[in-house]
Amino acid sequence: MLSEILSVTGRPGLYKLISTNKNMNIVESLADGKRVPVYAQEKVVALSDVSIYTRDGDTPLREVLKKMKEKEEGKQVSLGSKPSDKELFAYLEEVLPDYSRDTVYAGDVKKLITWYNILMEHDIHLEEGDKTKESTSDESEAKEREE
């Protein structure tokens, strides 16, 4: 599901991919449900392609979001309206202790928490859609063989 959730540079919030054309995509804002065009020259990133720098490489955003969901028990993160940099990094250290202190900035952590809260608010699953489909078809095939 995260492959269909997009961040568009210069636009606040997250967007769901609705359709794709040669020169533009149609996306729907998760905040207000409005559909807008996003043109080829705009920078668009699927959340499935985002990762957080760690000391040993990168950790996919999906894994970080899952750890946040476990920590928060599926609820939104509440650090107050204007958390300090120290509070942001303390939270990230609880979730991802080996994050790279040289390359992860307070703004990145704030955006991570904002994205997590939006995803939880809209009950968006953090699992990979393709793997779920594959496992379901594998289970169906196994059941057919048993019968």
Q: Where residue 18 falls among pLDDT bands split at 50, 70, 90?
A: very high
pLDDT at site 127: 73
Q: Is the pLDDT of residue 128 over 80?
A: no
CATH of domain 50-121: 1.10.10.1650
pLDDT at site 81: 77
Beta strands across the sheet bearing 24-29: 35-39, 24-29, 15-20, 5-8, 44-46
Residue intervals in the chain for CATH 2.30.30.730: 2-47
Q: Is the pLDDT of residue 67 over 90?
A: yes
Q: Is the pLDDT of residue 99 over 60?
A: yes
Residue intervals in the chain for CATH 1.10.10.1650: 50-121
Cα–Cα distance for residue pair 127/144, rounded to 1 Å: 26
| The CATH number of domain 2-47, selected from 2.30.30.730, 3.40.50.620, 3.30.420.10, 3.40.50.1980 | 2.30.30.730
Asked if 3 and 48 touch (Cβ cutoff 8 Å), the reply is: yes
Section 74-79 average pLDDT: 88
Q: Where residue 79 falls among pLDDT bands split at 50, 70, 90?
A: confident
pTM, two decimals, is 0.81
